[in-house]
């Protein structure tokens, strides 16, 4: 039997990249999937792929930066599906103008709300359902920028992802008594559409050497299928050909 048979999983940022892969892989394990993102069309495409493989998915579009929309989706899940077993808070974004020399108020708001506020809204919405059933897994896509500081990701994204990692640990500190586990997933460079926002374009050859969305989707599936008595608090996944390491080797060589 599939490990997540009879379970409900809610995936945000599910229309592309890591979220899309996670949704497909959780569905392969038997979970019924709720797909959320800002654009309906990509979500419908993912839902169709799940249905074609014999699974079941529900499209619930919404802007994760708007708390009322997140809460409304949570209400829909509770009213129509009755439970929530897996929450994958994956929605996130970055901007091109990310350095202090060109950072704007609008850019700060976009990145903080798109990465940190959206994660908080998702977790706040998921927790009551999980508390009621004394069980649940929350998996949050953070970033290596949430643990290490460099200039690559930009000041605001780095600060937001540090906040996301801290948030995950506080969930475990307070909700472990309710059977709830929270995992922060910290990818290095992953070949997903967010790379299109890099100030310096990434070549196809460079993207091929990076971690791929399916690598992260498989990791998320593994975490979701773990037994209730254990939690992976924080995990990093990076490409073997780590461009930061390679650049350092070349400088020092």
DSSP-based helix, strand, coil % in the chain, nearest 5? 50, 15, 35
pLDDT in tens, 121-165: 999 999 999 999 999 999 999 999 999 998 888 999 999 999 999
1 occurs within a structural domain: no
Residue 212: per-residue pLDDT = 93
User: What are the DSSP calls for 27-78, one per residue?
Assistant: HHTT-EEEEE-S-HHHHHHHHHHHHHTT--EEE----TTSHHHHHHHHHHHH
2 occurs within a structural domain: no
Catalytic-labelled residue, pool 121, 157, 222, 245: 157
What is the CATH classification number for the domain harbouring 17? Answer: 3.40.50.720
Cα 3 to chain centroid, rounded: 21
**Average pLDDT along the chain:** 94
Residue 189: per-residue pLDDT = 87
The number of distinct structural domains making up the chain is: 1
Residue carrying structure tokens 């050909």: 241
- Quick check: is 245 catalytic? no
Q: How far apart are alpha carbons 39 and 253 in whole angstroms? A: 47
Whether pLDDT at 197 is above 70: no
Residue ranges making up the domain that contains 189: 8-252
3 occurs within a structural domain: no
pLDDT in tens, 72-112: 999 999 999 999 999 999 999 999 999 999 999 999 999 99
Instruction: Provide the 8-state DSSP code for 81.
Output: T
246 occurs within a structural domain: yes
Q: How far apart are alpha carbons 59 and 36 in whole angstroms? A: 6
Residue 202: per-residue pLDDT = 78
């Amino acid at each position: 039997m599939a490990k997540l048979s009879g379970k409900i999983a809610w995936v945000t940022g599910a229309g592309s990249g890591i979220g899309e892969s996670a949704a497909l892989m959780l569905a392969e394990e038997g979970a019924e999937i709720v797909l959320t993102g800002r654009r309906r069309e990509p979500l419908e495409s993912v839902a169709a792929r799940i249905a074609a493989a014999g699974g079941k998915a529900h499209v619930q579009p919404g802007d994760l930066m708007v708390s009322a929309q997140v809460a409304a989706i949570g209400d829909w899940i509770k009213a129509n599906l009755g439970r929530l077993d897996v929450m994958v808070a994956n929605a996130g974004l970055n901007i091109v103008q990310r350095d202090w020399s060109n950072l704007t108020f609008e850019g700060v708001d976009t990145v903080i709300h798109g990465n940190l506020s959206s994660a908080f809204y998702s977790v706040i919405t998921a927790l009551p359902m999980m508390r009621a059933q004394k069980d649940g897994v929350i998996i949050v896509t953070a970033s290596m920028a949430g643990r290490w500081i460099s200039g690559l990701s930009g000041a605001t994204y780095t600060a937001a992802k540090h906040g996301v990692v801290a948030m995950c640990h506080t969930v475990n500190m307070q909700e472990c008594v309710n059977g709830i586990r929270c995992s922060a997933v910290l990818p290095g460079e992953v070949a997903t559409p967010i790379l299109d926002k890099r100030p310096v374009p990434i070549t196809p050859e460079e993207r091929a050497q990076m971690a791929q969305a399916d690598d992260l989707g498989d990791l998320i599936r593994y975490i979701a299928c773990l037994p209730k008595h254990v939690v992976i608090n924080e995990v990093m996944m990076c490409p073997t050909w780590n461009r930061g390491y390679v650049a350092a080797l070349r400088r020092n060589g």
